[in-house]
Amino acid sequence: MNCTLKQPPETQTFLLEFALKTENLRVPLSGSIEITRRCNLSCVHCYLGDTRQDLRLTKQEMDTRTWKRIIDEVVDQGCLFLLFTGGEPMIRKDFVEIYRHARKAGMIVTVFSNGTRISDDIIKVFREYPPYRVEISIYGATPGTYQTITQRSGEFEKCIQAIHRLQKNNIPFELKTILMIQNRHEVFLMQRMADDLGVRFRFDPAIFPCLNGDKRPLGFRVHPSEAVEMELASEKNRKSWLNFADRMKGVTLSENLYECSAGLNNFHIDPWGVLQPCLLVTDIGYDLRNGSFRHGWQTAIPKIWEKKTPKDFKCRNCEKRAYCGFCPAFFRLETGSEAQVSPYLCEMTQHMHRALAGTRNQGGYDDKKENRYTPEAIRKTAGPYH
């Protein structure tokens, strides 16, 4: 008897087709849940600002039972990928119970953490119900830099211990950091730390204002040219950017202001049960304490599509869009308008475009100056990271 099952498609083709189909059907395939905004650190650049220590807001956080009910509802609507974030999610005493509930429901779970609260109990549940990965934010390669940013002493050692605990127990994890003036001299030491551990590392220069409008974190940004120079120090990153730019060529923009998957495949839920298209789109929301996820997803979240680009929108016909981290919600936090581009992001895009044009034309990185962040230069200047 001949099997009638067709040959399965290649993985990349399958994933692309799967993503397109779920987007067309508007399945909430991926979401993030911010189970708390509390944190044991007080990082100078954090977009959460004073909400991290606001006891009034802490008392209003959803309880264990409500979170578990909401997780069941998002699963029923087709959600497969779930991100636990905060604040520091492990600061909640019921983190293990909520996490286990999501994993037992069959969800593929990623956890964002600063690592300092990874206890033996958490390692135990991670071994029993492994996460897809744990992403550990590190803010420096030395205790001094780490403390300068987090404004807490003794936490660097806890973070390093947690990293080794994850590795010892074969829990999948990655390292990441925010690039800022306080730690730019140690970013490649952090890279070397990750290399020694055999895990992925990335950094992000996109510091944005606090959600309450406080713009003080913007003072910690490195210059856009330096951010690009550091990003393109890696040959892998250069190739990745070039490939991305090639894929984006000829892509036509719709009239919708938001071109991402927020509200199509993705959602965010804050600690008080407000369902949003994403973390930064705060003017669209639905109270899940008084209604179902299904109803909020179908009625409130589609309002993001009502946002259209104005005819004079600067970014509409920009030839450098393929090199840009375009995000209207980011723009609004910085400039007060979703349709007014971030000057910092725009300048970074200009540098990225020029640098990659040099790469294409000359077969190597060229931004009219020597790159200080080549592997050779790093080896010459890098000291110990612990």
179 vs 126: CA distance, rounded Å: 29
Query: pLDDT digits over 104-119, tens only?
Result: 999 999 999 999 999 9
Residue 2 has pLDDT above 70, yes or no: no
| Residues listed for the chain | 386
> Model confidence at 369, in pLDDT bands (50, 70, 90)?
very low
Say yes or no: 72 and 138 in one domain: yes
Query: pLDDT digits over 285-307, tens only?
Result: 999 999 999 999 999 999 999 99
The single-letter code of the amino acid at 68 is K
Specify the residue for token string 């958490």. 122
Is 1 within the bounds of a domain? no
What integer pLDDT is reported at residue 361 of this predicted model? 60
DSSP assignment letter at 139: -
Cβ atoms of residues 39 and 202 within 8 Å? no
Cβ atoms of residues 323 and 349 within 8 Å? yes
Specify the residue for token string 């997780």. 71
Q: Are strands 30-34 and 81-85 parallel, antiparallel or unpaired?
A: parallel
CATH number at residue 59: 3.20.20.70
Is 381 within the bounds of a domain? yes
Say yes or no: 121 and 246 in one domain: no
DSSP-assigned letters across all residues of 237-281: HHHHHHHHHHHHTTPPP-SBS--SSBTTTEEEE-TT-EEESSSS-
Is 213 within the bounds of a domain? yes
* Beta bridge pairs of residue 178: 204
Say yes or no: 42 and 25 in one domain: yes
Cα separations in angstroms, 9 against 3, 18, 19, 20, 21: 16, 11, 14, 15, 15
Q: Are strands 286-287 and 274-276 parallel, antiparallel or unpaired?
A: antiparallel
Of 306, 322, 340, which residue constitutes the final position of a domain? Answer: 306
Give me the half-sphere count of Cα atoms (radius 13 Å) on the Cβ side of residue 250: 2
Stretch 142-146: mean pLDDT: 97
What integer pLDDT is reported at residue 375 of this predicted model? 45
Is 10 within the bounds of a domain? no
Q: How many domains does the chain have?
A: 2
Cβ atoms of residues 125 and 163 within 8 Å? no
Question: In this structure, what token pair is assigned to residue 243?
Answer: 């490939």
299 vs 65: CA distance, rounded Å: 24
Of 291, 306, 321, which residue constitutes the final position of a domain? Answer: 306
Is 145 within the bounds of a domain? yes
Cα separations in angstroms, 103 against 97, 113, 120, 128: 10, 17, 18, 10
Cα separations in angstroms, 161 against 43, 54, 147, 172, 292: 20, 29, 16, 15, 41
Range(s) of the domain holding residue 328: 223-257+307-362+374-386
Say yes or no: 277 and 247 in one domain: no
Say yes or no: 134 and 166 in one domain: yes
Say yes or no: 213 and 301 in one domain: yes
Residue 377 has pLDDT above 60, yes or no: no
Is 2 within the bounds of a domain? no
Is 7 within the bounds of a domain? no
Cβ atoms of residues 24 and 264 within 8 Å? no
**Hey, how many other C-beta atoms are within 10 angstroms of the C-beta on 384?**
8
Mark 55-79 as b/e (b = at least 16 C-beta within 10 Å).
Answer: eebbeebbeeeebbbbbebbbebeb
Say yes or no: 59 and 197 in one domain: yes
DSSP assignment letter at 208: -
Say yes or no: 269 and 244 in one domain: no
Say yes or no: 290 and 300 in one domain: yes
Cβ atoms of residues 358 and 366 within 8 Å? yes
Tell me the average pLDDT of the chain. Answer: 87
Stretch 153-182: mean pLDDT: 97
Say yes or no: 160 and 240 in one domain: no
**Hey, how many other C-beta atoms are within 10 angstroms of the C-beta on 234?**
18
187 vs 17: CA distance, rounded Å: 37
Is 357 within the bounds of a domain? yes
Query: pLDDT digits over 197-253, tens only?
Result: 999 999 999 899 998 889 999 999 999 999 999 999 988 888 888 888 887 776 667
Say yes or no: 336 and 350 in one domain: yes
Say yes or no: 115 and 200 in one domain: yes
